[in-house]
A and B are shown apart, each in its own frame.
Chain A
Amino acid sequence: MNLLEGCKKSAEFGKNLGKKLRIGWFYPDFLNLYGDSGNIEILVSRSSLRGIPVEIEKIDLDTFIDPALMESLNLVFMGGGPDLNQQHIYKDLLEKKGSSLTEYLDYGGVGLFICGSYQLLGSYYKGAAGEIMEGLKFLDFFTEHPGVDEPRMVGNVVSEASPVLLEDPVFKRVSEILPEEEKETGKSLHTLVGFENHGGRTYLDEEVSPLGYTVSEGGNNQSDKTEGVVHKNMVGTYLHGPILARNPHLADYLISKALKIPELPRLNDEVIISAHLESKKLIR
């Protein structure tokens, strides 16, 4: 796979842009399950190939967050983690970093939150034994684990992007990448694919938009077909894969939004699009 094949000019793009992508990576050592760090690698790669410089700011337990630091970031990433690791960061996030983070997102900051960190943005998480963990209350949703005897939600997932995402002009542009042969479905890639693995079930308030609606089993919970959440410029999701691996449009959506540029030059995503379309055969 050569992302620059036939797109040599794209490599020049960043030179005159005068912007760089500054990613704040929250708790990289604790929250990195199921290849989630691949999302960072993909954002770095897709930006660098277009000549856009990237800087990664690792935000750990001992990092002091001040407004200047948050203002210097244009993308925030937080992965999923095993329960034990989530407990390690929980106190630090809630007491020391939470308000800066939600303020950043409230002002339209771009963010990607996977699985456990997505759950922490809601009102609360109720664990398998009934224990309640308060969330950051950024959005009106909650997560409840139905108990250890209920099976985890595990498997390949395909979802249709929600209307909020589809109507977003940036998403419209980055998703117009389907090749000619796929004419039946139109030019744009309006699905998201990935692999979920979670015990908690998340329920969104009516006012909150999901990221997509599953056409397979799985998603936020077992009843309403919603998957993930999208609000302003933040995306929360249960999808691993890592999610950006087979969803190049979502990666470019985040980069475009972060740099506030209306259009990103194309990369050659032929192989990735085939893998994306193939994924529809994997669902349960």
Chain B
Amino acid sequence: MWIMYLISVWFTKVLHRLIKLFNLGNGYTWPGHIVNKFFPKIWSNFRRGFSQGVILVTGTNGKTTTSALIAHFLREEGFSVTANRSGANLLSGVLTTLLLRTNIFGRVIDDFAVLEVDELNFDLVLKHLKPRTIVFTGLSRDQLDRYGEIDSILERWSVALSDYIGSCKGSLGEDLSTLVINTDSPHLEKIMSSYEGPVLRFDGSDDYLKLSPLSGTFNSYNVNAAALAVKSVGVSERSIETSLPNFKPVFGRGEKVYFDGKELDLFLAKNPASFNNNVEMLNQSNTLYDSLLIILNDGIPDGRDVSWIYDIDSYKLRQVCMGKNIYVAGTRHLDMEIRLGYAGIIEVINTDHTSMEELERVAGSKVAVLPNYSAMLEFRECLLGRNIL
């Protein structure tokens, strides 16, 4: 058994490096996928492997920033943390991440694991791990052509939780996880009603947000969720307040990129909720942007259906475009141009977010960039090169 275990660990470490070396992908999908297929028992090593426990974060929006904040709070407390990146939040990516953060004997290195989990992979991951805390950031319509409807996600979460309660009852001395949920998400209350463990609720008040470098109402929820999650594992109020100012936004979530004398601020806008949130934040912000670049792709990770751009609030859209040069790019730039046109924004310039020459032509020194998922990766790759990601 331990031989299989060591083989899996080494296989993952070697395959991950080879994939990166030959630039065949991010190296998080295949190793975990193969190990999970041939040796699923490996998960039991991680069920109890972390001395301080595992924290899971799931939901449609805010997973990445919330889990980054949790990891940040814990590191500032002096803990070491295994954390996955947003592109590695499916079952295979989670397992690869866990296997990579082990020593040569396959022993877990870190105190905590903070894992963001794709909403439709949450049930799969929960089967294998015994989290100390689970954060549900909330549910909104996101990439529905991939996911089906909100009802079916809720159904899967609900089944996952009741299976999980059942599995905990079987084993003596196991406490149920603490759940951290959004008070403004009525969908969630329904599935929590039968939960017997502790449930903590966060809202959108901005007391913590003011201490952080983040802005926007949606980030209030992220900061409050993260604070509650770390309080549930013993981090003090005071420690949270002192760590907040040093938090660095995750890439594409308020990240700044400098290029050709311009400052480009990236705000991932992958669905109506995040697009509306970002637009609202830009409308309230004191920063004056000269230009706005909207990039719309329809790749598999984005969802092939771009209908959701009509769920963007037209009024807020007009507000954010006012007085700025507006650029559109991406595989579905025409659809975005039409959407803007119907909102009354008629002066729009087409550009290419994968060409430095084209980006040099974008006017002004401060540019707000709203890309969806694959568009953001392509944009960063163009300006920063692949390895930085």
Contacts and interface: CB of A to CB of B under 8 A. Distances in A.
Contacts of A154: 145, 304-305
A28 interface: no
Given A245-B335, A278-B334, 10 more contacts: A2-B346, A33-B149, A38-B307, A45-B342, A84-B149, A154-B305, A195-B307, A241-B306, A271-B338, A271-B341
B201 interface: no
B123 to A, nearest CB: 15
Contact of B339 (A245, A278, A282): A245
B346 A34 contact: no
Nearest to B272: A35
B334 A195 contact: no
Contacts of A45: 342, 344
A197 B305 contact: yes
B311 interface: yes
Interface string B294-329: 000010000011111111001000000000000000
B197 interface: no
Contacts of A11: none
B145 A195 contact: yes
Contacts, number: 87
A271 B335 CA distance: 9
A42 B305 contact: no
B34 interface: no
Contacts of B174: none
Contact of B311 (A37, A83, A241, A245): A37
Given A35-B307, A156-B304, A242-B310, A1 B149 contact: no
A34 B342 contact: no
Interface pairs A-B: 3 shortest CB-CB = A38-B310, A35-B310, A1-B341
Contacts of B337: 1, 271
**Interface size, A (range):** 20 to 34
A2 B306 CA distance: 21
Nearest to A245: B338
A278 B148 CA distance: 26
A272 B310 CA distance: 15
A69 interface: no
Given A42-B342, A152-B148, A34 B335 contact: no
A278 B306 CA distance: 14
A53 interface: no
A45 to B, nearest CB: 5
Nearest to A82: B149
A3 interface: yes
A28 to B, nearest CB: 13
B307 to A, nearest CB: 4
26 contacts: A1-B340, A1-B341, A2-B346, A33-B144, A34-B144, A34-B307, A35-B310, A36-B307, A37-B311, A41-B343, A45-B344, A82-B149, A82-B150, A156-B304, A195-B145, A195-B304, A197-B144, A197-B145, A241-B307, A245-B307, A245-B335, A245-B338, A271-B334, A271-B338, A271-B341, A272-B338
A38 B314 CA distance: 10
B348 interface: yes
A35 B296 CA distance: 15
B297 to A, nearest CB: 12
A169 to B, nearest CB: 27
B191 to A, nearest CB: 13
Of the candidates B141, B304, B342, the one having the most CB atoms from chain A within 10 angstroms of its own CB is B342
